[in-house]
Amino acid sequence: MSTEANEKLMHEVMEAMARGETKLFADAMADDFVWTFPSGGGNWSGSVRGKENVRKNLIAPLFAQFEDRYQSHAVRITAAGEVVVIECRGKVATRGGNRYDNAYCYVCLFEGGKIKELIEYMDTALAERVLAPPGDSLKRSAARQLPSGS
């Protein structure tokens, strides 16, 4: 797909996420999708591999901690070839009574019109404070390095 098509898809995904709808995001993932948290070294560091594994062992337990519908609003989306970068802000209350209003930068790598990998940069200290850790769903691995010039 072209840069424009990849960027358009992520605009549509993020517009849905701003409404609290996650289906389009799940549909955009490749079957061998990888979600990587390269930051830190704590509970929110590592990778989850496989679309169904991500949905079952990362997203579902995470969303189960939320009191209401999670929303994420794109601040900026930039695309170049197979890479789309999204700066966004999430907001939701947790069942524990805390706010989980995090700032993110997603680096999405596309292949064949699907998101092959999402590399997430976030405030890990906030996640550590207000969320139950993802447990064994994150398989500790080195973050994938972007090609130079990307």
Tell me the pLDDT of the chain (150 aa) as tens digits. 799 999 999 999 999 999 999 999 999 999 999 999 997 667 888 899 999 999 999 999 999 999 999 999 999 999 999 999 999 999 999 999 999 999 999 999 999 999 999 999 999 999 999 998 876 556 544 334 434 444
CB 80 within 8 A of CB 5: no
**Phi, then psi, of 12 in degrees rounded to 5:** -65, -45
Return d(Cα 73, Cα 106) in angstroms, integer: 12
CB 132 within 8 A of CB 149: no
CB-neighbour burial class of residue 141 (10 A; exposed 0-12, middle 13-18, buried 19+): middle
Domain ranges of the chain: 3-131
Return the CATH number of the domain spanning residue range 3-131.
3.10.450.50
**Among candidate residues 89, 76, 69, the one with its CA nearest the CA of residue 21:** 69
Question: pTM for the whole thing?
Answer: 0.87
